[in-house]
Amino acid sequence: MNNSTETDPNPQVGGFKIKAGIIGGAGYTGGELLRILINHPQVDIAFVHSNSNAGNYIYEVHTDLFGDTELKFTGELSHQIDVLFLCVGHGDARKFLEANPFPQSVKVIDLSQDFRLKEKSSISYQATDNSQPTTESRSFTYGLPELNREAIKQADNIANPGCFATCLQLGLLPLAASNNLNSEVHITATTGSTGAGQSLAPTSHFTWRNNNASVYKAFDHQHLNEIGESLTQLQPAFDKPVNFIPYRGDFTRGIIASIYLDSDLSADEVVKLYSDYYAGHPFTHVTTRNIDLKQIVNTNKCFIQVQKKGNKVFIISIMDNLLKGASGQAVQNMNLMFGLEETTGLRLKAAAF
């Protein structure tokens, strides 16, 4: 278990373990974050906040952690931490920081959509220092390591990307980086039920979801905005439509996306382009072989299959929506921010069968 206050020498992070606090620890992303951090060799969990579960053992909510930790949820906050993870609903992260200003020395990683877009990437709030009110601010860096790794290393605050956004961007970044996005992009992608969060809704009940599939938010999914900002970051002149049809799948976790667009690149050029772009990124892997969700579920990996079909580049991108699409990527960002090896605590094996 990783719940003690003992410290290990680690010159990369100032000679101590990273002390982490978690807000909203009772949901899916909070549970996955706990599963990783409890076993992370450089982290001590200082507190796990939950208003509705304060006083309960974590394993009473996240039953998969029974036997791994004796931590309890708390309704109290502590500023004696190095990093704060916000695993709250969209719109609630900004409200939380405004109501609960933490010292600037505390790094923040937000898993909601509140700070992902450039126009919303900062926050100002009133803080009290020695009884004197002062105005403080935080600016957030978009936390997709395959796009912004060097900026993440220097960042104090991270806006963790959305799950669909991560999967689709990883399928398109090499083309944008080489100015090869020159036509409309067509995408169909299916996500598991955990992508909708833990709160019950008519489309998340087992009786509705099982043996069923449906389209939602066709052409206007909210993640298109952050995808567009990332693509034009690499290819500023890109102005073609990105046509995205999301599906609800009748499985629990994972995203599979199929993407195609017109291209003059040859098959060999496409494979080399993708392989070269991701050569230094430990979690994104390129192949020409057929891929399937069981290869990546329960891991922080993204697998990308690339092909050339006539005049079309055809890309399949798969990943776990709760890990590479949320909590795993948040820990990957934390590792980069604190100078750790990027893969620390994240070498997770897929169930595969």
CA–CA separation, 235 vs 240, rounded Å? 11
At 11 the pLDDT is 40
- Please answer whether residues 113 and 29 qualify as being in contact, where contact means their C-beta atoms are separated by less than 8 angstroms: no
**Residue 67: half-sphere exposure toward Cβ, Cα within 13 Å:** 1
CA–CA separation, 96 vs 106, rounded Å? 15
Based on its alpha-carbon atoms, the radius of gyration of the chain, rounded to whole angstroms, reads 20
User: What does the pLDDT average to over 254-259?
Assistant: 98
pLDDT digits (tens, 9 = 90+) for 131-157: 567 788 999 999 999 999 999 999 999
End-to-end Cα distance, the chain = 28
Beta partners for residue 104, in sequence order: none
The residues, ordered by sequence, that sit 6+ positions from 236 with a Cβ below 8 Å of its Cβ are none
pLDDT digits (tens, 9 = 90+) for 219-245: 888 889 999 999 999 999 999 999 999
At 198 the pLDDT is 57
Active site includes 302? no
Short-list 256, 144, 245, 258, CA closest to 192? 256
User: What does the pLDDT average to over 330-353?
Assistant: 96
Q: Could you give phi then psi for residue 194, rounded to 5 degrees?
A: -65, -15
Question: Which residue type is seen at 172?
Answer: L
Burial 106-130 (b: 16+ CB within 10 A, else e): bbbbbbbbbbbbeeebebeeeeeee
Q: Could you give phi then psi for residue 110, rounded to 5 degrees?
A: -100, 125
CA 79 to the chain's CA centroid: 24
Q: Would you say residue 12 has pLDDT above 90?
A: no
Task: Write down the catalytic residue from 87, 163, 167, 302.
Answer: 163
CA separation, residue 64 to residues 9, 35, 98, 324, 326 (Å): 30, 9, 33, 20, 18
pLDDT digits (tens, 9 = 90+) for 258-314: 999 999 999 999 999 999 999 999 999 999 999 999 999 999 999 999 999 999 999
Helix %, strand %, coil % of the chain (to 5):
30, 25, 45
- Please answer whether residues 106 and 158 qualify as being in contact, where contact means their C-beta atoms are separated by less than 8 angstroms: no
At 212 the pLDDT is 85
pLDDT digits (tens, 9 = 90+) for 182-217: 999 999 999 987 765 556 566 666 766 777 888 888
Where does the chain show beta strands of DSSP type E? 18-23, 43-49, 83-86, 107-110, 122-129, 132-139, 141-142, 157-159, 185-191, 214-215, 242-248, 255-262, 284-287, 302-309, 312-319
Burial 215-245 (b: 16+ CB within 10 A, else e): eeeeeebebbbbbebbbebbbeebeeebebb
Q: Which secondary-structure segment (H or E) carries 269?
A: helix 267-277
At 128 the pLDDT is 58
